[in-house]
Amino acid sequence: MPEKHNKRFYFLVIQMMIILLAAGCGNGEGAREGTALIQQTNPPAVDVRSTTYQKDGLPEKVKKEVAGLDGIYDVAVVQNGKKVLVAYKVNHLRRFQMKKIEKDVNSHLKKRFKDNEFIVSSDYKIFLETVRLNEMLLNKDVPKQKAKKKFQEIESLQKEMT
């Protein structure tokens, strides 16, 4: 009978080792996304058409304008022609004023940059997808057609949510 208990003990120890080994083999990519809701990521603003970062370009100007508004602490901006995708995060204590903040952002951008069409969202999923598109463009390993398709997917996702 003691042999049976020893076998169970070893079986349990081996299972625990396998679980710990599997948990330790994670690459940590999800950790950054998991904290992105509360931490500021501050991605650079980019244009789909030219993957080089332009410090004085329209996306960067839009980002500075939106980041300067009250209640917003992180902004991701991607431009595709005349369309500009603006995703932002709102301070936690301002969550009850989200509709007002979105209205303010829209009106501010339409006044300041009249020639462009803005897709504005405070939704976390849209923010994450915009940051992913931004990173794809900065890595420069993505064809423009694929980047434009991803931009259109985010745009359609935003339209679904409204």
Does one domain contain both 93 and 156?
yes
Same domain flag for 13 and 63: no
Selected residue with higher pLDDT from 70 and 42: 70
Q: Which position has the token pair 């509709």?
A: 99
Considering the chain, what is the average pLDDT of its residues? 81
Q: Are residues 128 and 83 in the same domain?
A: yes
In the numeric block, which tokens belong to residue 74? 């992180």
- Enter the tokens of residue 85: 């995708």
- Quote the domain boundaries for residue 22: 2-31
pTM above 0.85, yes or no: no
Residue 75 bridge partners (DSSP):
88
For residue 73, the SS3 value is strand
Q: Is the pLDDT of residue 54 over 70?
A: no
19 and 63 fall within a common domain: no
**102 and 65 part of one domain:** yes
Domains contained in the chain, number: 2
81 and 18 assigned to the same domain = no
In this structure, the answer to whether residues 11 and 78 fall within a common structural domain is no
Answer yes or no: do 105 and 151 share one domain: yes
Q: Are residues 78 and 134 in the same domain?
A: yes
Would you place residue 31 in the very low, low, confident or very high pLDDT band (cuts 50, 70, 90)?
very low
22/88 same-domain check? no
Q: Quick one: 49 and 27 in the same domain?
A: no
Q: 127-136: b or e for each residue (b if 16 or more CB lie within 10 Å)?
A: bbbbbebbeb
Kindly report the CA angle at 62 between 79 and 72, in degrees rounded to 5? 115
List beta partners, residue 121. Answer: 87
Radius of gyration, alpha carbons of the chain: 22
Question: Do 85 and 6 reside in the same domain of the chain?
Answer: no
Please give the structure tokens belonging to residue 27: 């690459």
Angle between helices 58-67 and 98-112 (to 10 degrees): 140
